[in-house]
Structure 1
Amino acid sequence: MKFERFIQKNTNNITIATAILIAIGFIANWLGLHTLYTVAFIIASIIAAVPIIIRAYESLRVKTISIELLVSIAVVGAFIIQEYNESAIVTFLFLFGGFLEEKTLARTRQSIKSLTEMAPTTALVVQDDGTTVETDVDDVDEGDVVLVKTGAQVPVDGDIVDGAGYLNEASVTGESKLVTKREKDAVFSGTILDNGTLQIRATKVGDDTTFAKIIELVEDAQDTKSHAEKFIDRFATYYTPAVILIALIVGLISRDFRLAITVLVLGCPGALVIGAPVSNVAGIGNGAKNGVLIKGGEVVDTFAKVDTLVFDKTGTLTKGTTEVSAVKNYAADAKQVSALVAKIESLSDHPLGKAITDYATNKQIDFDKLAVTNSTTVKGQGVSATVSDHQLLVGNQKMMTANQVELTTSQLADLHQLQSEGSSTVIVAVDQVIQQIIGVSDVVRDNVRPALAQLKQMGIKHLVMLTGDNQITANYVAEQLGIDEVHANLLPEDKVKFVKQFKVAGRTVAFIGDGINDSPSIATADIGIAMGGGTDVAVETSDIVLMRSSFAELVHAYGLAKKTVLNTRENIVIAIGTVVFLLIGLIFGYIYMASGMFVHEASILVVIFNAMRLIQYRPRSSKQQTATKQSEVSHA
C-alpha cells in the first residue's frame, strides 16, 4: 500500500522523468550511442509502466477491465518484442495525457471549488456582556447573535437584530449587485458585507444554511450521471473486454504480435468514457456560477427535451406581493390626495392599505405629519375620516353609494377597466367628490414576457398557467404575458391532475412554482423548477432551483441544458470518429502504436476542451435569435 501511495503521489514526477529519458534516448541515437539509446528507453518504459499497471491491477481487484489494462498488456507486449521506443512513448503519452486531463478537468470543477472556498469558517459570537468571541462556524447554535463587520462574510442564515449595511449576495443568488439590508431583514450565510456593521440572530447554522445546501446540491449533481453517461458505462463494460478479444483474434489470425498490441492501444475508449461526464460537470458548474442549481446530469437530459412549461401564477409569474398597479387621478393636486389616503391607510394593517402607504413612500410623498380625526371603519365598505380638515371616504363603490357620492360615466369606465384587469380597487372621495381610483394587484415580475418569448424561440411549444386565483385575473395576466393556456380556481390536487394529463398526452412537462402548495406538481412533472425565494419544501422537491427567482435564469437554464446535451453528443461523435480514423489508419499502414496513442490522448483533450466551452456559455438574447432566424430565411 505504501508503494502504491508513493507511486500515485509521484506520478507527475515519473512523467517528467520519462520525458527526459526519452529525450536522452533520441539524442543518443542521433549521436550513434545505441547502447545508451536502448537503456534509456528500457528504463523509461519500466518506470512509466508502473503507475499504469498499478491502476490496472486495482481495477481488476474490483472486477473492472479498465483502459489501463489495455495499455499495460500492449506495453508489456511491446517490451517482449523489444520495441522499447514504442513502449516508452506509449506509456509517456498515456501519463502525460492523464496529467493534462486532470488539469483541464479541474478547471471545469472550478465553480464548485470557488464555492467551497467561499464558505465561512469562523464567526464572531456576541456574548452576554457585549464582547465577541471568534468561534468555529460548526459550534455556532441557532439563536446565537453574531457580529459581522465591513468586508466580512455572514457566517449563518439569520435575521438582523441591529445595524444596517450593503450585502453582496452573489454567492447565493449569482447577482453581484449590492442589496441594502437593515433591522429585521433576512440574510444568508456566505454573503459578504460590503459596508456597515450587522448583528445577526442565527436561524440556520452549519450544514442547514442556504449556502451549505447550495454546495451540497451542486456537488451531488455533478456526481449524478446522465442517460448518456449510464449508456456509455454499460457500453464500456462490454467494449473493453471485446477489444482484448479482438486483439487476440487478430494476433492468432495474422501471427503478427505487433499488430495485435497496436489494436489494444487503438481500441482504448478514453475519449468516449470521459466525453459525457466532462460535459455535464462543465454545464452544471456554469449553472451554479449563474444562480441556477441543476440537480444532476439526468435532469439536464430531461430538461433539454421539455416542450411544455407549466407555471403557478402567484409568486412565480407575479411577485406575490400586492402593489399599487394603477392610479386614476381626477384631482388638481394628485400628491395631496395620495398623502391624505396614505395617512388613513397607515392606521390599518390591511394588505391594500400597506400597498397604498408603500406607494406613497416610494413616491416620496410626506404624510406622517397629517392629523387624523373621526376615523370610522365600515365593515365591508371602507374607512371614513377627517384628515387635515378634509372629509375623506376611502373604500369600495358601496361606500360611495351609502354616502351619496356618485361616479361619473368615465370614472365608472375606469373602475370597470381596473377590475377587468384583476385589480382590487380603492375609491377615494375628498369632501364628497371622487378624486382617485386606485388599482392594487399582484404585479407581474419584470421581464417575464420577453423571457417567455425567448423560451418559445428556443423550442418551448406550450406555455400553461395553473392558478388558484379567479379566472378574470388569470386571463388578464396570461394575456399580458402571452400564455397559451389558462386554468383558474384550482386546488393543489387539481394542478397535479393537469400535469398528469399533459404527460399522458405525450408532452415533456416542466412545472415552475414557489410554494408548499406547488410541491406536489413540482414532484409530478418531468422536471420540477423552484423559485429560490420559495419554500424549503418546493426547493427540496425540485430538480432545478432558480436562486434569484428570475426568468432570465430560467432562459439560461433551458439554453444551458440544450447546449450541454448537444456538447455531449459532439464529444461522443469525436470519440467514435477517432476510433474509426485510427482503425482506417491501421488498415492502410499509416498508424502505429506510438502514433495511435498520441491520437488517442489528443482526442481526450479535444473532448475536454470542447466541454470547457460550456463554462463560458451565455444564452443569446431574443433579438439575436430573431436576427439569426431572419438571416437563415433570407439565405434560403
Structure 2
Amino acid sequence: MNDYKLTQFFKKYHVFDLVILFILIAFFIVSYWYPFLIYVSLLVGCSLISWQVFQQLYKGQISGEIFFILATVVGIASGQERAITVVILVGLFAHYIGHLIEEKAEYALEQLASLVPNTVTVRLDDGTHIIKPIDHIVPGMHVVITTGARVPIDGTIIHGQATLNESALTGESVAVQKTIGDVMYAGTFIEAGSCVCQVSKVGEETFFGYVLQLIAQAQNQKANIVLFTDKVAVIASCVFLVFIILVYVVTGNLYMITTLLVFGSPLELLIATPLTILTAIVACYRQGIVVKTGRALETMAYVNTIFFDKTGTLTFGLPEIVDITIYNSSYSLNEIITLAAIAEKYSGQLFARAVLACARERGLSIDDPQSYKLINGYGIHMIYQNKNYYVGNAPFMTDIQYANADISNMPVCIHDNKLHTSFYLAQQGAILAAICMADAVRPEVAQAIRSLKNLDITPIILSGDRYDTVLSIGSKVGIDTVYAPLLPDQKLYVIEELSNNGRIAAMVGDGINDAPALKKAHVGIAMGAMGMEPAIAAADIVLMTNDLRKIVFIKETCNTMIRIIKQNLFIGLVFTHGIGIILGLLGLVTPIQAALFHAVPDTLIMLNATRLLWKSKKAII
C-alpha cells in the first residue's frame, strides 16, 4: 500500500480516533487496579466531546454532545465517575460509528472529484509526448488519451476514434462511439481506442467541474425541512434543559438527572435529516441526474402534476419534412425551401435543422437575410430582397403584429394517417406554403408515463403545436390532458393557474426554449443537458440524458427520502427520547444503560439515513 492509499485509509476510517478510543477503554479496564486511570480516561474523553461541542457552537450550530458534557458535570458532582466514564466511552464509540456512516456519503462525492486524472499526456508540435500536471494544461493544447484512461479535459477530437463510457455524467453504462469532430468531456472513460483532443476547458471550467460545483452548492443550501428540524432542535433542547431543572427542583436526584441528560442529544434532527438529503443527491447523480438544491428534492416529493413540453421531450426532437403544400403558384418548391432555409439559417431551432438539411440535400444556395428577428417559441420575421417574410407556427401567422394571415381554411396536415406539425411561410400577410413535419415519439415515454401515474402523478402536455397533433401524441403515450397551441407566456399562465388551484407542479423541457416555464413551476427539470450549461442554469434538476424514466427514479427517490426522514424523527423523538425519558423518570435505567439505549437507535437512524445510496445502484425502473 503506497503512502497516498495509506493516508486515504487512515482518513476514511478515522484510524487515529479509533486508536484513542481503544486506549481510553484500556485505561478504564486497568483502572480497577490503578484507580487514577479512571480520571485520565474521563478527562480525555470529556475533552474530545467538548472539542466537538466547541466546533459546532463556533459554526453557530447546536451540538447534541452538549448533553453528554452536562451529564459528565452532574455525574462527577454526584460521585458517579465510573458510570459517567462508561457513558462517555459509549458516546464516543456511537459518534465514531455515526461519523463513519456520515463519511460514506461524503466519500461518494470525493470519489467523483477523483475521476479526473492529475496528469495529462501532451503532444507537442514536433510530435513528441510529455506528461504534465493537469494545472499546467491550457486551452488549445493537444492531449493524448488512450485505452483505459479517464478523459482529463473538455475538448474536441482532432485525430483517432474511441469507444467512450460516459456513465460518470449520464449514469448510462452503454458506451458511445466518438470520432474526429466529436466533443469529449472530463470524467468520462475510454474503453477502447485512442485519440488526440484539442483542449477547450480545464479543471473547474469543464462541464464535469461545473457539475461538481453545483453538487457542492446543493450540500450547502439547506432544504426547508432541514431549516425546520434545526429550529425544532434548538427549541427542544431549551425546553429539555428547563425540564431537567424542574425535575431536579422536584426530586433533587442527581443520579436521575445524569440519566435523563444522556437522552438529550437530538441526533435525528441535527445530523440524520441533512445526511438523508445528501445521500439522495448522491443517489441521483449516480443515475446521471444533477440536483441543484435539496429544496428541489423536498418539493419533488409532494409534486402531483408534471407538465411536459412535446418537441424534444416526448419526441426525439429530430423532425423531418414529410410534405410541403404550396398556396402561391408563382413560387416553386425549391424557392419555398430556400426562403424557409434563409429565415431559419441562424435560429438553431429544431425546425431549422430539418429545413436546412432539406435545402442541403437539394444543393440550394442559402443566402443571409437582410434583417432577422427570432421570437422564441413563436416564429421568425425576416427581410429578404426588400420583402417581409414570416416563418412560424399557426399563432404566429394569425398574430396582427406579425404575419396577420388567415389560415382557418387550410387543411390539416395528414401523412400516412398520422397527424404531424405544420409550420407556415408567409409574405406580406399571405400564406405562401405549409411545411408538414414528423417527429417520432421516444419509445420509453409510454412506460415512464404509466409509472408516473402509478405514483399518483397527473401528466399534462404544454405545447405550441396544433391541438390535434398534441392530442394524438398524448393518446399514444397515455397523457389525457393537453394544452395547445400555446405561446411561451401562455404556458406560464397555465402553470400559474393550476398551481393556484392546489397543484404542486414540475415542468420538464429542454432547459433553453422552456426556461421561463421551468422557472415558473415549483420544480424545473431540464432534459438532455450534458454539456449545456444554460440548460442547467434554468432548471432545479437536470437529466444528462433524454430518458424520461429517470423522472420516475427522481420521484421514487424523493418519496423515499421524505419517508426516511419521518422514520428517523419517529425513532428518535418517540423511542429514544420519549420512552427513554419515561424510563429515566421511573428510575428503571442507569446512566450506562441510558447510553446504550441511546446509542443503538442512533446508529440505526444513521444507517437508515444512508439507505438511498444502496437504492441508487439498482436499475432505473
TM-score, length basis structure 2: 0.78
Q: Residue 14 in 1 paired to residue 12 in 2?
A: no
The aligned counterpart of 2:490 is 494
Q: Residue 561 in 1 paired to residue 558 in 2?
A: yes
Q: 1:93 to 1:486 in 2, by over 3 A?
A: same
Using the TM superposition, give the Cα deviation of residue 120 of structure 1 relative to its aligned residue in structure 2, in angstroms.
Answer: 2.7
The aligned counterpart of 1:201 is 198
Question: What secondary structure is seen at the aligned counterpart in 1 of 2:319?
Answer: strand
The aligned counterpart of 2:376 is none
Amino acid at match of 2:499: K
Question: What secondary structure is seen at the aligned counterpart in 1 of 2:317?
Answer: strand
The aligned counterpart of 1:319 is 316
Amino acid at match of 2:442: R
Given candidates 481, 484, 495, the residue that maps to 2:480 is: 484
Using the TM superposition, give the Cα deviation of residue 63 of structure 1 relative to its aligned residue in structure 2, in angstroms.
Answer: 6.3
Using the TM superposition, give the Cα deviation of residue 54 of structure 1 relative to its aligned residue in structure 2, in angstroms.
Answer: 2.8
The aligned counterpart of 2:263 is 266
Q: 1:19 to 1:569 in 2, by over 3 A?
A: same
Q: 1:160 to 1:491 in 2, by over 3 A?
A: farther
| Contact map agreement 2:260 2:585 (CA 8 A) in 1 | no
> Structure 2: how far apart are the matches of 1:84 and 1:487?
73
Q: Residue 536 in 1 paired to residue 533 in 2?
A: yes
Given candidates 498, 504, 509, the residue that maps to 1:513 is: 509
Given candidates 27, 51, 56, the residue that maps to 1:54 is: 51
Q: 1:146 to 1:284 in 2, by over 3 A?
A: same
The aligned counterpart of 1:398 is none
Amino acid at match of 1:18: L
> Structure 2: how far apart are the matches of 1:195 and 1:325?
39
> How do 1:400-439 residues align onto structure 2 when only pairs under 5 Å count?
416-418=414-416, 420-422=418-420
> How do 1:26-105 residues align onto structure 2 when only pairs under 5 Å count?
28=32, 36=34, 38-59=35-56, 65-105=62-102
Question: What secondary structure is seen at the aligned counterpart in 2 of 1:548?
Answer: coil
Given candidates 590, 599, 603, the residue that maps to 1:605 is: 603
Using the TM superposition, give the Cα deviation of residue 545 of structure 1 relative to its aligned residue in structure 2, in angstroms.
Answer: 0.8
Question: What secondary structure is seen at the aligned counterpart in 2 of 1:563?
Answer: helix
Question: What secondary structure is seen at the aligned counterpart in 2 of 1:451?
Answer: helix
The aligned counterpart of 1:148 is 145
The aligned counterpart of 2:166 is 169
Amino acid at match of 1:91: I
Using the TM superposition, give the Cα deviation of residue 565 of structure 1 relative to its aligned residue in structure 2, in angstroms.
Answer: 0.7
Question: What secondary structure is seen at the aligned counterpart in 1 of 2:259?
Answer: helix
Q: 1:202 to 1:45 in 2, by over 3 A?
A: same
The aligned counterpart of 1:216 is 213
The aligned counterpart of 2:303 is 306
Question: What secondary structure is seen at the aligned counterpart in 2 of 1:152?
Answer: coil
Amino acid at match of 2:520: T
Residues 34-92 of structure 1 show CA distances to partners (whole Å, capped at 9, x for unaligned) of: xx3x4343332122111112333455556655323221121122123221221110110
Amino acid at match of 1:309: I
> Structure 1: how far apart are the matches of 2:210 and 2:578?
44
Using the TM superposition, give the Cα deviation of residue 136 of structure 1 relative to its aligned residue in structure 2, in angstroms.
Answer: 2.9
> Structure 1: how far apart are the matches of 2:573 and 2:541?
32
Bigger radius of gyration: 1
> Structure 2: how far apart are the matches of 1:376 and 1:136?
48
Given candidates 575, 581, 585, the residue that maps to 1:587 is: 585
Question: What secondary structure is seen at the aligned counterpart in 2 of 1:516?
Answer: coil
Q: 1:478 to 1:581 in 2, by over 3 A?
A: same
| Contact map agreement 2:74 2:257 (CA 8 A) in 1 | no
Amino acid at match of 2:577: V
> Structure 2: how far apart are the matches of 1:110 and 1:58?
21
**Cα RMSD between the aligned structures?**
3.2
Question: What secondary structure is seen at the aligned counterpart in 2 of 1:113?
Answer: helix
Q: 1:494 to 1:63 in 2, by over 3 A?
A: closer
Amino acid at match of 2:488: P
Using the TM superposition, give the Cα deviation of residue 216 of structure 1 relative to its aligned residue in structure 2, in angstroms.
Answer: 1.6
Return 38-47 or 109-118, whichever deviates more. Answer: 38-47
| Contact map agreement 1:111 1:286 (CA 8 A) in 2 | no
Using the TM superposition, give the Cα deviation of residue 282 of structure 1 relative to its aligned residue in structure 2, in angstroms.
Answer: 1.6
Using the TM superposition, give the Cα deviation of residue 509 of structure 1 relative to its aligned residue in structure 2, in angstroms.
Answer: 0.8
Q: Which has the higher helix share?
A: 1
Question: What secondary structure is seen at the aligned counterpart in 2 of 1:99?
Answer: helix
Return 482-491 or 509-518, whichever deviates more. Answer: 482-491
> Structure 1: how far apart are the matches of 2:134 and 2:63?
42
Question: What secondary structure is seen at the aligned counterpart in 1 of 2:121?
Answer: strand
Residues 376-399 of structure 1 show CA distances to partners (whole Å, capped at 9, x for unaligned) of: 9899xxxxxxxxxxxxxxxxxxxx
Residues 536-575 of structure 1 show CA distances to partners (whole Å, capped at 9, x for unaligned) of: 2221121111112211211111110111111111111011
Residues 557-603 of structure 1 show CA distances to partners (whole Å, capped at 9, x for unaligned) of: 11101111111111110111211110121133221211111122222
Using the TM superposition, give the Cα deviation of residue 254 of structure 1 relative to its aligned residue in structure 2, in angstroms.
Answer: 0.9
| Contact map agreement 1:322 1:355 (CA 8 A) in 2 | no
Residues 181-233 of structure 1 show CA distances to partners (whole Å, capped at 9, x for unaligned) of: 11112221111111111122233322121211222222222333222211111
The aligned counterpart of 2:106 is 109
Residues 1-21 of structure 1 show CA distances to partners (whole Å, capped at 9, x for unaligned) of: xxxxxxx99543331112112
The aligned counterpart of 2:291 is 294
Question: What secondary structure is seen at the aligned counterpart in 2 of 1:510?
Answer: strand
| Contact map agreement 1:157 1:203 (CA 8 A) in 2 | yes
Return 148-157 or 137-146, whichever deviates more. Answer: 137-146
Using the TM superposition, give the Cα deviation of residue 621 of structure 1 relative to its aligned residue in structure 2, in angstroms.
Answer: 9.1
Structure 1 unaligned runs (5+)? 1-7, 327-348, 359-374, 380-414, 426-438, 625-636
Residues 389-426 of structure 1 show CA distances to partners (whole Å, capped at 9, x for unaligned) of: xxxxxxxxxxxxxxxxxxxxxxxxxx94536421789x
Residues 485-530 of structure 1 show CA distances to partners (whole Å, capped at 9, x for unaligned) of: 2223333222222211221122111001114221111111100001
Q: 1:246 to 1:357 in 2, by over 3 A?
A: same
Q: 1:63 to 1:11 in 2, by over 3 A?
A: same
| Contact map agreement 1:11 1:51 (CA 8 A) in 2 | no
Question: What secondary structure is seen at the aligned counterpart in 1 of 2:193?
Answer: strand
In percent, how many aligned pairs have the same letter? 27
| Contact map agreement 2:421 2:465 (CA 8 A) in 1 | no
The aligned counterpart of 2:370 is none
TM-score, length basis structure 1: 0.76
Question: What secondary structure is seen at the aligned counterpart in 2 of 1:444?
Answer: coil
> How do 1:363-442 residues align onto structure 2 when only pairs under 5 Å count?
416-418=414-416, 420-422=418-420, 441-442=438-439
The aligned counterpart of 1:242 is 239
| Contact map agreement 1:531 1:539 (CA 8 A) in 2 | no
Amino acid at match of 1:230: L
Q: Residue 123 in 1 paired to residue 120 in 2?
A: yes
Residues 98-137 of structure 1 show CA distances to partners (whole Å, capped at 9, x for unaligned) of: 1111111122334312211112323223332223333333
Q: 1:475 to 1:355 in 2, by over 3 A?
A: farther
> Structure 2: how far apart are the matches of 1:378 and 1:157?
34
Q: 1:472 to 1:355 in 2, by over 3 A?
A: farther
> Structure 2: how far apart are the matches of 1:515 and 1:317?
14
Using the TM superposition, give the Cα deviation of residue 445 of structure 1 relative to its aligned residue in structure 2, in angstroms.
Answer: 1.6
Q: 1:104 to 1:620 in 2, by over 3 A?
A: closer
| Contact map agreement 1:66 1:240 (CA 8 A) in 2 | no
Q: Residue 181 in 1 paired to residue 178 in 2?
A: yes
Using the TM superposition, give the Cα deviation of residue 310 of structure 1 relative to its aligned residue in structure 2, in angstroms.
Answer: 0.6
> Structure 2: how far apart are the matches of 1:595 and 1:290?
43
| Contact map agreement 2:120 2:143 (CA 8 A) in 1 | yes
Q: Residue 351 in 1 paired to residue 348 in 2?
A: no
* Matched residue count: 523
Q: Residue 282 in 1 paired to residue 279 in 2?
A: yes
Using the TM superposition, give the Cα deviation of residue 97 of structure 1 relative to its aligned residue in structure 2, in angstroms.
Answer: 1.0
